[in-house]
Structure 1
């Protein structure tokens, strides 16, 4: 039975129902006996709750144990499972220059995905919200789901976010632009969260043995860090835990907040302009040199590009040392759309860590989630919220099923 001091039978039933739903959300087909073993509830309670949850639209009956070939003798056991179409969750990575949305079922299986580019500085706050609304509608349509199926939407933004979904007024107007009012502008229940925090949740969910002390360094145009310390995601009073403004005190080149992608592009354009060193990068119009061009050139043995990679690795090592020293994290995961191209940068950073800094130094790893790391973290957060308090959410009822309160 669920522990705690329930003040009424109704509250106790709600607590027990939540416990059973948490089990059903992670289980496949199950019997009352299995549910009893997992939740500690009595047989009568489980059978009664399963009946209620079938009526409510959360569960459905499936083939009993004999029909499923699981038993031959005795009375067959009823089996239940979560209704696959009980609800849909969505995650949106609302970046500065691009949006990505995915829609998933209540087990986290992705049903559809949609991406587009958007210059937020030109488009403005309202256009960000309008774009998000349109993207979610299109992605739901691709998934074969209706807007009414949506149980919860999580939006990741490149700005600090407090527990109420608000961002500070700082960031030279950038943070308010990024936190454009998605919670009020999108239909249904919406959670707004920092993108690097969502990346950290995604990385933790990927690990078979998650580390209790990990920093996920989301990089591309900017640096952002999601911090899991002592097994908990850090937020801070204004949601600013993991913001990298401290880098201004370490690097005085005016580009402290630039991510690896932005730095690779900036340094390469400057190098081909200011030096006469031979390089295949000179075959590209200077203003069109991108980070990927630098990585490809370095892999082909280009000396100028290799020097940029070396500088990027040294910078990454110093950022890693600061994070490790401040928070005693043992593992730092480099994540983002360009993460899969960063092997030479990370290798250089590992070398600098082991040769220029005393131990202990953090382990460096590269995310395998690519550009979907934020939306995958958004789905993970949505699943966590539903599992924690399933009674706060209403399932989508089957089209053929009458409402339990219908006359």
Structure 2
């Protein structure tokens, strides 16, 4: 159902007031009119009128007053409101090289359904589009939702993207085109707003959101602040304009998301986080990630016979040792695995020192599926990072979001897009606005 532009063509000022009220309502389970008056500085009559507008548009619902819930006992009972969280939904997709994940959330970012599927990395672009579309359909079906229930979708891809969601075309190479086979064209005909973004950038958006827990947001869920092109004002309490950090997706290849003074840095063509510069760094030599390097070195060690058969590094497929298994074995004290992790730590420390030195960041966050297992690696990396950094070294930490980091960032971006034109974006659930979520 299309969302009307207003019951009585509200002025620009009224729209701005509505956006401000909605911004506060988006981040909490319930808010009173008195809260909104204090937060916005608007008069009581303006707040009540704006709330009525938002209810009419399907963005908010009216709840039982504070006295009836036992929260208010004297004077006039406070009117209570809440975001109509089920009035619309968004989809976040991690369209990785080897695995696809789609999640469907409500307007508060709470996950209603999740679908995962492995994919042949050597398949065609048409195959990838078809499988991604089917995966999103599966997630929507699991949530008992249809296309008309969705406001926006964000797709994370292992490729740089420009502002329109396109990836560069390189002569003699089609990897980026394969990883980003026009997802905008795939989903826009379904009536959704579509954002296609680099997966490491989305990981950075997710990490910025996770740092706002103290400000009333969910760790790993989409909440109230931020905009569609930046990491929001996460961590502004750290001092200055906001935090500066790098999020590294370091499984098969290194991809980086840069947040500088609280804002996502994308570059002129969206390629700020491409790590080919590591090819030029002595002692690093490539953009291969932690997972790929550990697998290659474990395979070489087994071929040379320098790993005893009793070591967990020996277990698993002969041609593709598991990186997570090697990291876990090192954490458990296996000598062979610890030697491998020690070698990787020096290499990783050199790469982190280059990034930290160029960008002067506070923190480097290891993210992705390997994050839960890299505690020992980061412990061994810290001395190298300090050695290679001429001033105070950035802190190296592991993400707490695991393999959900890209879909979390994708949901953040989709919800930020939905929050923007609060009174103009079509809202499927407007007809159910009187039903509390």
Aligned counterpart, 1:131? 131
The 3-state SS of whatever aligns with 2:428 is: coil
Gaps of 5+ in 2: 1-8, 215-234
Q: TM-score, length-normalised on structure 2?
A: 0.84
Q: Indicate whether 1:195 and 2:199 are aligned.
A: yes
Q: Indicate whether 1:227 and 2:255 are aligned.
A: no
Q: Indicate whether 1:178 and 2:179 are aligned.
A: yes
Q: 1:316 to 1:276 in 2, by over 3 A?
A: closer
1:12-70 deviations in Å (ceiling 9; x for gaps): 22222222221221233223222222222222222222222212111111112332233
Cα distance, 1:246 vs structure 2: 0.2
- Are the aligned partners of 2:386 and 2:392 in contact in 1 as well (CA < 8 Å)? no
RMSD: 2.3
Q: Partners in 2 of 1:30 and 1:68 — Cα distance?
A: 13
Q: Partners in 1 of 2:166 and 2:372 — Cα distance?
A: 32
Aligned counterpart, 1:287? 319
Q: 1:285 to 1:199 in 2, by over 3 A?
A: closer
Q: TM-score, length-normalised on structure 1?
A: 0.90
- Are the aligned partners of 2:84 and 2:433 in contact in 1 as well (CA < 8 Å)? no
- Are the aligned partners of 1:85 and 1:105 in contact in 2 as well (CA < 8 Å)? yes
- Are the aligned partners of 1:160 and 1:240 in contact in 2 as well (CA < 8 Å)? yes
Q: Indicate whether 1:87 and 2:88 are aligned.
A: yes
Q: Partners in 2 of 1:229 and 1:252 — Cα distance?
A: 27
Q: Indicate whether 1:314 and 2:346 are aligned.
A: yes
Cα distance, 1:375 vs structure 2: 0.6
- Are the aligned partners of 2:245 and 2:361 in contact in 1 as well (CA < 8 Å)? yes
Cα distance, 1:372 vs structure 2: 0.5
- Are the aligned partners of 1:160 and 1:167 in contact in 2 as well (CA < 8 Å)? yes
Aligned counterpart, 2:210? 206
Count of residues in correspondence between the two structures: 393
Gaps of 5+ in 1: 1-7, 403-407
- Are the aligned partners of 1:309 and 1:345 in contact in 2 as well (CA < 8 Å)? yes
**Whose RCO is larger (CA < 8 A, sep 6+)?**
2
Q: 1:74 to 1:349 in 2, by over 3 A?
A: closer
Cα distance, 1:306 vs structure 2: 2.4
Aligned counterpart, 1:358? 390
- Are the aligned partners of 2:350 and 2:388 in contact in 1 as well (CA < 8 Å)? no
Q: Partners in 1 of 2:433 and 2:394 — Cα distance?
A: 55
Cα distance, 1:9 vs structure 2: 6.3
Q: 1:344 aligns with which of 367, 372, 376?
A: 376
Q: Partners in 2 of 1:12 and 1:293 — Cα distance?
A: 58
Q: Partners in 2 of 1:400 and 1:306 — Cα distance?
A: 58
Structure ID, larger Rg:
1
Aligned counterpart, 2:162? 162
Cα distance, 1:91 vs structure 2: 0.6
Q: Partners in 1 of 2:273 and 2:199 — Cα distance?
A: 11
